[in-house]
Amino acid sequence: MIQIKNLQKNFGRKHVLTGVDLTIKDGEVTTIIGGSGTGKSTLIKCIIRLIEPNDGQILVDGKDITHIKSALELAQLRRNFGYLFQEGALFDSLSVGENVTFGLKYLTDTPKNKYAAIAKDMLALVGLKDIEKLRPSELSGGMKKRVALARVLATGPKVILYDEPTSGLDPIMSEIIDELILDLKKKLGVTSVVITHDMKSAFEISDAMVMLHEGKVKLAAPREEFKKSKNPYVKQFIEGSSQGPIKMTITK
């Protein structure tokens, strides 16, 4: 279980998270929605401490990880987590195959001779084949995203943080990824936190949904409750309407 209490983060004078309270239950899929730039990525980066919060608390299975400093302890914390980066963050000096198996060396005891088979299997899970030898620069955007996902899956994390797993994918591929997330939950009991802008997929995969707005949680609730919510912010966001309390302006 991940408990987040009054979490705050600012970059210089810019206050991004202004007091997030949230509980993420084990074995559930929790989706986070919210406008662009409201701090969704920042929030999940705090959870695996790629970013150190300014204030508040994060407890992972009861352990306070908010201000861990030692590299060893941080490595220990991240051991159970997988993180899918919004832009993939593949290592462009390595081949696709080496990217997928990168974490095995550090996070598992898998013998080297199994790497090739694992790379193949993981790529197959995300619908890719025979691309192990290619470089990331030779892939399309959607392929990069899926290779990045394969890299996350390879180490068998218990908690996976997805930063927009289906953005940039075609509808069919998005559906396949959604099914994959649900499969991981059912078969392996993986806990997932998914940032998404795709409402349809959010309603399909979520156990719980969270809406972030201006650095705070507007609403966190089980899916059905969330769907029916009368909260005007949530309603406007779900309906994708430009009319409502959320003001997004195009600055000229």
Partner 1 sequence: MFKELGRFLIAFFNQLGQASGMVRSAAVWLFKGPVEVRQTMLQTTRVGVDSVAVATLTSLFTGMVLALQAGVTMRDILSEPLYIGTIVGFSLVRELGPVLTAFVIAGRAGAAGTAEIGTMKVTEQIDALHTLGTDPIRYLVIPRIAAFVIAIPVLTLFANVSGMFGGYLVSVHSLGVSSFVYIDDIKTFIKVGDLMHGFIKSIIFAFMIAVVCCYKGLNTRGGAEGVGKATTAAVVISMVLILVMDYFLTAILQAVGI
Ligand X SMILES: Nc1ncnc2c1ncn2[C@@H]1O[C@H](COP(=O)(O)OP(=O)(O)OP(=O)(O)O)[C@@H](O)[C@H]1O
Partner in contact with 36, chosen from Mg ion, partner 1, ligand X, none, beta carbon below 5 to 8 Å by kind: ligand X
Q: Which of 43, 81, 185, 191 binds partner 1 (CB under 8 A)?
A: 81
Q: CB nearer to ligand X: give 42 or 155.
A: 42
Partner in contact with 38, chosen from partner 1, Mg ion, ligand X, none, beta carbon below 5 to 8 Å by kind: ligand X
Hey, is 49 helix, strand or coil? coil
Hey, is 198 helix, strand or coil? coil
Count of positions on this chain that bind ligand X (CB under 6 A): 12
Q: Which of 83, 226, 233, 237 binds partner 1 (CB under 8 A)?
A: 83
Q: Yes or no: say if 216 and 19 are a contact pair by the CB < 8 Å rule.
A: yes
**Which helix (DSSP H) or strand (DSSP E) does residue 2 occupy?**
strand 2-11
Q: Yes or no: say if 19 and 215 are a contact pair by the CB < 8 Å rule.
A: yes
Q: Binding string to Mg ion for residues 74 to 93, with x set by CB under 5 A, is what? A: ------------x-------
Tokens coding 177? 């990824």
Partner in contact with 147, chosen from Mg ion, partner 1, ligand X, none, beta carbon below 5 to 8 Å by kind: none
**CB of residue 81 to partner 1, shortest distance in Å:** 7
- What is the rounded distance in angstroms from the CA atom of residue 33 to the CA atom of residue 121? 31
- What is the rounded distance in angstroms from the CA atom of residue 3 to the CA atom of residue 61? 8
How buried is 22 (Cβ within 10 angstroms: 0-12 exposed, 13-18 middle, 19+ buried)? Answer: buried
Q: CB nearer to partner 1: give 16 or 211.
A: 16
DSSP 114: G
Residue 14 as a binder of partner 1 (CB under 8 A): the answer is: no
Alpha-helix runs per DSSP H in 159-231: 171-188, 199-205, 223-228
Q: What is the DSSP string of 65-113?
A: -TT---HHHHHHHHTTEEEE-TT----TTS-HHHHHHHHHHHH----GG
Q: Binding string to partner 1 for residues 108 to 147, with x set by CB under 8 A, is what? A: ----------------------------------------
Q: Binding string to partner 1 for residues 36 to 55, with x set by CB under 8 A, is what? A: ---------x--x-x-----
Tokens coding 44? 């999940």
Choices 22-30, 68-76, 204-212, 218-226; region in contact with partner 1 by CB under 8 A: 68-76
Q: Binding string to ligand X for residues 21 to 50, with x set by CB under 6 A, is what? A: -------------x-xxxxxxx--------
Residue 93 as a binder of partner 1 (CB under 8 A): the answer is: yes
Q: CB nearer to Mg ion: give 31 or 95.
A: 31
Positions in the binding site for ligand X (CB under 6 A):
11, 14, 16, 34, 36-42, 86
